Amino acid sequence: MPKLGMEPIRREALVKATIAEIGRARSLDVTVAQIAKRAGMSSALAHHYFGTKEQIFDAAMRKVLAIYAKDVRKLLKKAKSPKERVEAVIHASFASANFEAAAIAAWLQFYVYAQTLPSARRLLQAYLRRLRSNLLVGLRPLVGARAEDAAEMLGALIDGIYIRAALSKDKPDGAAAEAMVRGALEHFIAGQD
Amino acid sequence: MPKLGMEPIRREALVKATIAEIGRARSLDVTVAQIAKRAGMSSALAHHYFGTKEQIFDAAMRKVLAIYAKDVRKLLKKAKSPKERVEAVIHASFASANFEAAAIAAWLQFYVYAQTLPSARRLLQAYLRRLRSNLLVGLRPLVGARAEDAAEMLGALIDGIYIRAALSKDKPDGAAAEAMVRGALEHFIAGQD
Amino acid sequence: MPKLGMEPIRREALVKATIAEIGRARSLDVTVAQIAKRAGMSSALAHHYFGTKEQIFDAAMRKVLAIYAKDVRKLLKKAKSPKERVEAVIHASFASANFEAAAIAAWLQFYVYAQTLPSARRLLQAYLRRLRSNLLVGLRPLVGARAEDAAEMLGALIDGIYIRAALSKDKPDGAAAEAMVRGALEHFIAGQD
Amino acid sequence: MPKLGMEPIRREALVKATIAEIGRARSLDVTVAQIAKRAGMSSALAHHYFGTKEQIFDAAMRKVLAIYAKDVRKLLKKAKSPKERVEAVIHASFASANFEAAAIAAWLQFYVYAQTLPSARRLLQAYLRRLRSNLLVGLRPLVGARAEDAAEMLGALIDGIYIRAALSKDKPDGAAAEAMVRGALEHFIAGQD
DNA sequence: AATGAATGAGGATTCATTCAT
DNA sequence: GATGAATGAATCCTCATTCAT
């Protein structure tokens, strides 16, 4: 009798292996065989479950974004004030399991990947929209009409820190990253127009 | 005697074609044949002049960084005050010929490439150091001991804007980008610690 | 479960095809595609099983030497006297399945190959040592201290006959070849110093 | 005004460079560019003078055989007796400028080359015939009807020694080689049928 | 469910050879 | 006479993907 319910297990193993492998290679030049091997199965099985390599990548990207989204939701729930809301979003960006060398590397790769693949682009844009809207909700009470600009700026800053973390050989420093964004937030709030 | 002095012409054509082709593909998955074709020659000739694909990429990356460096130098010369120095660096980042769809796309690809290739990493890190030091010279008189943090933040913000511009389908808006960074600078200066 | 146990079959087919193809081309300028085609598979599969062309050649060379070594061992077992031992070695050299047009041609090619490739050189030198030592064991009782010279001479003579057989268009004549070496042996034994 | 009589100079330089380059590579896998560079000219010029690579190789092979033939002729002139004739041929084989690492390597390569290229085969067979006939003239008075066999055997032995010298990493020892062939000759003469 | 077997398509690289000057 | 310029044709090798079992 066949093992039942293997599908979700296999799929998850593959997704995890994909992120790890991309993190290791620091590039999307990763073969299905490598991913499958790390996931403990044959590449034929990987295709059986996902169809194409593209779909494996898609699922992996979805996973990275989902981890982040979940962290944000959790933190937002505890936020008591507008400012705490904004800080929650910032905190989630760098405290998440995603702010870890391999995941950051994978993140950057997916960013690039989104340039080429429409489905990946959609995913990434959804993330950007959500990030922006999460920031906006908190920022409006704080800076009013300047909230749009503030959200844009904070979002870009977060992405910039990510990209730099990806390049650096040092272990990513989430606290420092968070401090930098919070500083920018403070200055923005303090600044008059 | 044969046609002479083609080498620099061919090399430049290849470098230009490489950037254009990477911009078009929005990926480093570009074949030497594609590059050579766009540059109007056979792939064999491309290898004749550059040896390997890696060296072609290297030259293209060097070119992108060189364009930026030249723009910065030019603008810095005209700067009359510390603040003008910082603004010159910011302006160069977005006014340069590099802030144009294809070049931005190529820029992002090289950022990623630097994760893998040591030679590319060195190039990029040199760029980052120069950017930072250029900002620092202007920032020290303005914000004193906080200059380091400011430089770090502005640098990350610039990179973040780049990465977002790379993802966007719209034509990159240099003016808006510049305004955002200048805004952050103003707020940083105004902010108290 | 898939078709199983193809690997040894494929590998053997490839080795055989390699020898045949080198024999046909009378040169090592044989493409993996040609070999694979003769072996009835795609070149990709050949690479799948052997990795590189060099390793295919290595295996083929090993095979040629192994055939010879096996023949020698078999004949040596039946030898009842020192002289029969020497004759067994000689006989094996020319009666072996290797003394056949294609194999001789391949042999010569490998001899040349050994000049360039360290691994091939090691294989060939091992063969030469074994040949020498096999001859020595039989020769010592027959010619005493002159055994070393005799072994050297007989070995060179055998190789010389091989090389000439490789050049000739006629079907190799094992009997004649053997007679020539036996003659040299007789004269060496008869000769006084 | 054009330089006159460059042709023979260029041709000779190329032939010499070819032998040297084959000796260095210990293989015929030598590019026209390498040969031309060593000869101090462009590969285009090499083609200008020889037409094809094949013809360059042919000329080089011819040269190697010509050196040997000349040496033999010179030594044969001084020979006073049949035995001295045979010894002259043997001596020439190993004393010639050809019995030197690079030339031996080239020799072996050409031997192999002759398997493929008809023109090379003709050259080599002419050499073999001449060697044989030179030996026969001296051997007939010495061993009568057995001269044919003796010539065949000595020829094969000489070739065998060459092939082994090619494989060895040590500097070729002409004296030892000659001693071995002379020994075989002595034994052959001494041997009774 | 799972995988070894198998391949077509593609890509970097090399090189003999030709040609215009 | 001489050569830089240029290319077409090959060749090794990789890899996503399919299939039979």
d(CA C44, CA B43): 24
Tally the C-alpha atoms within 13 A of residue B58's C-alpha that lie toward its C-beta: 14
Q: How confident is the model at residue D137 (pLDDT cuts 50, 70, 90)?
A: very high
Given this model, what pLDDT does residue B1 score? 53
Given this model, what pLDDT does residue B101 score? 85
Nucleotides of F under 7 A from a protein CB: 1-21
Q: Count CB neighbours of B128 within 10 A.
A: 16
Given this model, what pLDDT does residue D1 score? 43
Q: How far is CA C113 from the centre of its chain?
A: 13
Q: Count CB neighbours of D192 within 10 A.
A: 6
Does the pLDDT of residue A192 top 70, yes or no?
A: no
| Distance linking the first and last C-alpha atoms of chain C | 71
Range with lowest mean pLDDT among C125-129, C152-156, D32-36: C125-129
CB of C169 lies under 7 Å from some atom of strand E? no
Q: How confident is the model at residue A1 (pLDDT cuts 50, 70, 90)?
A: very low
Residue pair C68/C107 in contact by the 8 Å Cβ criterion: no
Please report, rounded to a whole number, the percentage of residues in chain B having pLDDT higher than 70: 98
Given this model, what pLDDT does residue D192 score? 57
Distance from CA of A30 to the nearest CA of B (A): 12
Whole-Å CA distances, D127 to A170, A176, A179, C81, C115 = 70, 82, 87, 40, 24
Residues 7-46 of B with CB under 7 A from strand E: 30-33, 43-44
Residue of C122, C187, C188 to mutate for D, most D C-beta atoms under 10 A: C187
d(CA C80, CA C76): 9
A58-101 pLDDT, tens digit each? 999 999 999 889 999 999 999 999 999 999 999 999 887 878 88
d(CA C134, CA C82): 11
- Residues whose CB falls within 8 Å of the CB of residue B18, separated by 6 or more in sequence, listed in order: B30, B35, B56, B57, B59, B60
Give the residue with minimal CA–C1' separation from F5. Answer: B3
Tally the C-alpha atoms within 13 A of residue A60's C-alpha that lie toward its C-beta: 33
d(CA D133, CA D128): 9
* pTM of the predicted structure, to 2 decimals: 0.92
Does the pLDDT of residue A34 top 90, yes or no?
A: yes
- A51 sits in the region (left: phi over 0; alpha: psi -120 to 50; else beta) called left
Mean pLDDT to the nearest integer, C102-129: 90
Does the pLDDT of residue C133 top 50, yes or no?
A: yes
Q: Which token pair is B45?
A: 């000739």
Whole-Å CA distances, D28 to C27, D57, D106 = 10, 9, 8
Name the residue type at position A118: P
Q: Which token pair is A67?
A: 């981890």
D68-89 pLDDT, tens digit each? 899 999 999 999 999 999 999 9
Ranked by mean pLDDT, the top range of A104-108, B68-72, C44-48 is C44-48
d(CA B87, CA B79): 9
Range with lowest mean pLDDT among A23-27, C48-52, D8-12, D95-99: D95-99
Residue pair B11/B50 in contact by the 8 Å Cβ criterion: yes
- Residues whose CB falls within 8 Å of the CB of residue D59, separated by 6 or more in sequence, listed in order: D11, D14, D15, D18, D50
Given this model, what pLDDT does residue A4 score? 59
Does the pLDDT of residue C193 top 60, yes or no?
A: no
Given this model, what pLDDT does residue A55 score? 96
Burial class of B67 by CB neighbour count within 10 A (0 to 12, 13 to 18, 19+): middle
Please report, rounded to a whole number, the percentage of residues in chain D having pLDDT higher than 70: 97
Residues 105-144 of chain C whose Cβ lies under 8 A from any Cβ of chain D = 105, 108-109, 111-112, 114-116, 121, 124-125, 128
Given this model, what pLDDT does residue C96 score? 75
Residues 133-192 of chain C whose Cβ lies under 8 A from any Cβ of chain D = 149, 152-153, 155-161, 163-164, 166-167, 180, 183-184, 186-188, 190-192
Given this model, what pLDDT does residue D4 score? 60
d(CA D92, CA D71): 6
pLDDT along chain B (193 residues), means of 10: 85 97 94 98 98 97 92 93 94 85 88 90 92 95 94 96 88 92 94 63
CB of C129 lies under 7 Å from some atom of strand E? no
